[in-house]
Amino acid sequence: MSKIAKEILLKGEVPPTVKFDLKPKTLYELLNIQRLNAYKFKAQPQQWYKKGFDGCYWEVFKVKFKKYKSEPTHGKAWGLLYWNGEALDNTPKEIKGGLKFSWQEYRSPKKDGVFYDAETAKDIERRRTKLIKDFYKS
């Protein structure tokens, strides 16, 4: 193991790159990471993903970064809003809430298997409770 790695691990500190990777990101932090691929980058607030909004995201067309504490973590971004897979407008609009929310690259919640319809959710819950009861009986 390298000397630097030993020092970091012995101190119990987490490297700054790992800290940055684990924390929620604003839209501008996310786009700064994707700087070369920011054009037509699909981003969504994490709350849309958690609520199960499928096909709802912003497709970014233009970004202007502003430096804050010598890092480009602020700015303005423009893009098209897609809702249920369809663009709401053909002209790019300014993306609001870039600093307010935690943002992520667009992923479909249904493809990830995060959300179920009511019948499937009840079936899963029934099987789970049955397994728990069987476990405690034995």
Are 33 and 84 contained in the same domain? Answer: yes
More confidently predicted of 111 and 71: 71
pLDDT at residue 87 tops 80 = yes
Residue-level pLDDT at 12: 60
- Eight-class DSSP state of 101: S
| 88 conformational bin, left if phi > 0, alpha if psi -120 to 50, beta if neither | alpha
pLDDT bin (cut points 50, 70, 90) of residue 76 is very high
- Eight-class DSSP state of 122: H
**Buried b vs exposed e over 36-63: b needs ≥16 C-beta within 10 Å?**
eebeebebbbeebbeeebeebbbbbbeb
Are 51 and 116 contained in the same domain? Answer: no
Mean pLDDT of the chain: 80
Rounded to two decimals, what is the model's pTM? 0.64
Q: What is the total count of domains within the chain?
A: 2
Q: Around 114, how many Cα atoms within 13 Å sit in the side-chain half-sphere?
A: 14
Q: Each residue of 12-48: pLDDT tens digit?
A: 666 666 666 667 888 988 888 877 667 889 999 988 8
Are 123 and 74 contained in the same domain? Answer: no
Does residue 7 lie in a domain region? Answer: no
